[in-house]
Chain A
Amino acid sequence: MQIDDMENLGRTQQVAAASAVAHHVMTAREAGLVGCANCGRVHRAPVPANCLRCGRPLFDRARARSLQYVWSWLFAGLIAYIPANLYPMLRTNTLGSTSESTILEGVVELIHHGSYLVAAIVFVASIAIPIAKFVAISYLAIGIQQRKRGHAHERHKLYEVVEFIGRWSMIDVFVVAILAALVQLDFAATINPGIAAISFSLSVAFTMLSAQSFDPKAIWRLTDTT
Chain B
Amino acid sequence: MTGVPIDPTSDATNRTKPQPRLRDEDMVACPTCDALHRLTDLPDGARARCVRCHTTLSAPRRGAMTRIVMLAATSMVLMMAAIFFPFLELTAAGITQRSSIMDVVLVFADGPFVGLALAVGALIILLPLARFLALIYVLAPMAFGSRPARDAVPVFRLAEALKPWSMAEIFIVGVAVALIKVAGLATLTIGPAFWAFVLLVVVTTLKDTFMCRLTIWKTLEERSK
**Does chain B have a CB within 8 A of A158?**
no
Distance of A41 Cα from B29 Cα, bound (Å): 6
Residues of A within 8 Å of B182, CB to CB, are 179, 182-183
Residues of A within 8 A of B10 (CB): 17, 20-21
- Tell me which of B29, B119, B160 contacts A40 (CB under 8 A): B29
Residue ID in chain B nearest A221 by CB atoms = B34
**Is A177 a contact of B6 with CB atoms below 8 Å?**
no
Pick out which of these stretches binds chain A: B69-77, B102-110, B139-147, B199-207. Answer: B102-110
- Inter-chain contacts of B12 with A (CB < 8 A): 16-17, 20-21
A181 in contact with B52 (CB, 8 Å): no
**Is A113 an interface position by the 8 A CB rule?**
yes
Residue contacts A-B, CB under 8 angstroms, 28 given: A6-B4, A9-B46, A14-B2, A17-B10, A21-B9, A24-B7, A27-B34, A31-B6, A33-B29, A35-B28, A36-B29, A38-B31, A41-B28, A42-B24, A42-B29, A53-B218, A54-B156, A55-B157, A153-B53, A174-B175, A175-B177, A177-B104, A177-B107, A178-B99, A185-B90, A193-B107, A208-B165, A216-B53
Q: Is the CB of B93 within 8 A of A185?
A: yes
Interface status of A26 (Cβ within 8 A of chain B): yes
B123-156, CB < 8 A from A: 123-124, 153-154, 156
Question: In the bound complex, how far is the Cα of B97 from the Cα of A186, in angstroms?
Answer: 10
Contact check, B177 vs A122: say whether CB atoms are below 8 A apart.
Answer: yes
Q: Does A63 contact B (CB under 8 A)?
A: no
Instruction: For A15, give the chain B residue with the smallest CB separation.
Output: B4
A-side residues, CB < 8 A to B, are: 1-2, 5-6, 8-11, 14, 16-18, 20-21, 24-31, 33, 35-44, 52-56, 110, 113, 115, 118, 121-122, 153, 156, 163, 167-168, 170-175, 177-186, 188-189, 193, 195, 197-198, 201, 205, 208, 212, 216-217, 219-221, 224
Q: Which residues of A contact B113 (CB under 8 A)?
A: 193, 197-198
B51 and A1 contact, CB distance less than 8 A: yes
Q: Which of A5, A171, A183 contacts B177 (CB 8 A)?
A: A171
- Bound: A198/B117 CA distance, A: 10
With A170-B167, A185-B97 as given contacts, are A2 and B178 in contact (CB-CB < 8 Å)?
A: no
Shortest beta-carbon distance, A41 to chain B, in Å?
Answer: 7
**Alpha-carbon distance between A188 and B52 when the two chains are bound, in angstroms:** 60
9 A-B pairs besides A25-B5, A29-B34, A216-B33 with CB distance below 8 A are A9-B2, A9-B4, A27-B33, A33-B36, A54-B153, A55-B157, A156-B53, A170-B174, A220-B52
Q: Are B177 and A9 in contact (CB under 8 A)?
A: no
Interface residues of B (CB under 8 A from A): 2, 4-13, 24, 27-36, 40, 42-43, 46-49, 51-54, 57, 88, 90, 92-93, 95, 97, 99, 103-108, 112-113, 115-116, 119-120, 123-124, 153-154, 156-157, 160, 164-165, 167, 170-171, 173-175, 177-178, 180-182, 184-186, 213-214, 217-218, 220-221
Cβ contact within 8 Å between B108 and A193: yes
Q: How far is the CA of A181 from the CA of B182 in the complex (A)?
A: 12
List 4 tightest A-B contacts by C-beta distance, closest first.
A35-B29, A174-B174, A28-B29, A20-B12
Whether A37 contacts B170 in the complex (CB less than 8 A), given A20-B12, A28-B36, A118-B177, comes out as no
In the complex with contacts A2-B54, A121-B177, A21-B107 CB distance below 8 A = no
Does B112 lie within 8 Å of A198, measured CB to CB?
yes
